[in-house]
Each structure stands twice: as C-alpha cells, then as structure tokens.
C-alpha cells in the first residue's frame, strides 16, 4: 500500500510538472508567433508601399503633370507675374503651358519662363517641383522641326532607375511639336 501511495504522488507531481511546462511552452510559442506575424505584416506593408504604390504614384503624377502642362495654368497669365530668379513669387501660381483653356497651342513665353525657373539653379529646379505639384524629378521635352526645348533634369544624366513618359502632340507657336513629360527617380522606392 505504501508503494501505491508513493506512485500516485509521483504521478500527480509528474502530471503537474508536465502541465506547467506545456502551458509555459504554449505561452512562449504564442508570443513568438505573434511577434513574427506582426513583423512580417509590417515588412509586407512597407514593401507594398515602397514597391507597389510607388510606381502607381509616379505613373499618376506623370499623367497629372502632362494634363496640367496642357492647361493655361492659374492664373492664366502666371508667366507675367513671376520673377524667375525669386522663388517667393512662385507660391500662388499653378504652371500650365497653353495659351488658353480651350487651346492645345503651347505659349512660347510660358515655356521660356518655365525654362528660366527650372534651369536657373538646382534649388530653383527643386522649387518648381512643388509649384508643378509633383514629388519626383521631371524632364519635359518639346521637339519639332525647328524646336528643341529641354526643361528640368535629364534622367539619362542622373542614373534614373524608374521613369514614366507621357507624350502629347501639340503646337508650339505655329509649329507642330511632340511634348514628352517624363517623371523619374533614381531612388529604388518606385521600382516594380
């Protein structure tokens, strides 16, 4: 009888010890899996933001910038109101290049004003990005038989990793031209 009592006690003690070990292991396993899932979720979201929507944002900004360039801007005579070497005069304008809202003819004076704003020095180029409503770098070309205009930073000379291009046929003064609006970055956040 003494032997049986001893065995029962040992069995009870072993069962209690085993159940505490299992409970402790389950708690640690659950905590570890929760931390792993949380970390994986955050990494997945960061990758989606960086790689997925980054390209969508660039593509959208390229389209919007092209459409904006094919408007007269706000106010319509914005080019007469800005001092091209004084960034503080640029804050209440929206840049557009056409002569009027119902026209697809590009105004040479607006183009030359934007060229002076963007190509004056690098800090002025950076300021034109916010006036144009984009966060990425840009490069606008207007080419025709006798027209060869370049505005902004050329992606080919800055090791661009991602570029989006929209093209529009229009008229510069009286000459038919092709306008290319390129939005680009040399950062890896927009690579798909």
Q: Domain-by-domain residue ranges, the chain?
A: 59-190
Assess whether pLDDT exceeds 70 at residue 13: no
DSSP symbol at 50:
I
**What distance in Å separates the CA atoms of residue 35 and residue 41, rounded to the nearest whole number?**
10
Residue 176, pLDDT above cutoff 60: yes
N- to C-terminal Cα separation, the chain? 77
Between 54 and 24, the higher pLDDT residue: 24
- Each residue of 107-124: pLDDT tens digit? 999 999 999 888 766 678
pLDDT attached to residue 192? 41
What is the percent of the chain with per-residue pLDDT over 90, rounded to a whole number? 30
Which tokens hold the place of 25?
A: 């292991």
| Confidence grade of residue 22 (pLDDT, cut at 50, 70, 90) | confident
Note the pLDDT of residue 9.
Answer: 54
87 vs 50: which has the higher pLDDT: 87
pLDDT for 166? 93
DSSP state of 134: -
60, 56, 68, 58: which is closest to 132 by C-alpha? Answer: 68
pLDDT tens digit sequence for 143-160: 999 999 999 999 999 888
- Mean pLDDT, the chain, whole residue set: 81
The pLDDT value recorded for residue 17 is 57
* Short-list 117, 77, 107, 109, CA closest to 170: 107
Asked if residues 99 and 107 have their Cβ atoms less than 8 Å apart, the reply is: yes
Of 130, 129, 124, 127, nearest to 139 by C-alpha is: 129
More confident residue, 65 or 4: 65
């Amino acid at each position: 009888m003494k032997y049986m009592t001893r065995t029962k006690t040992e069995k009870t003690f072993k069962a209690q010890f085993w159940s505490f070990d299992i409970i402790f292991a389950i708690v640690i396993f659950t905590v570890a899996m929760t931390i792993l899932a949380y970390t994986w979720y955050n990494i997945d979201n960061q990758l989606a933001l960086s790689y997925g929507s980054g390209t969508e944002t660039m593509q959208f900004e390229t389209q919007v910038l092209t459409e904006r360039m094919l408007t007269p801007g706000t106010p319509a005579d914005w080019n007469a109101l800005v001092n091209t070497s004084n960034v503080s005069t640029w804050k209440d304008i929206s840049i557009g290049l056409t002569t009027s809202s119902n026209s697809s003819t590009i105004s040479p004076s607006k183009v030359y004003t934007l060229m002076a704003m963007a190509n004056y020095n690098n800090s002025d180029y950076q300021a034109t990005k916010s006036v144009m409503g984009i966060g990425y770098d840009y490069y606008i070309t207007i080419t025709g038989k006798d027209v060869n205009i370049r505005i902004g930073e050329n992606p080919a000379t800055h090791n661009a990793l991602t570029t989006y291009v929209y093209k529009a046929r229009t008229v510069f003064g009286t000459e038919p031209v092709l306008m290319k609006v390129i939005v680009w970055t040399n950062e890896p956040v927009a690579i798909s």
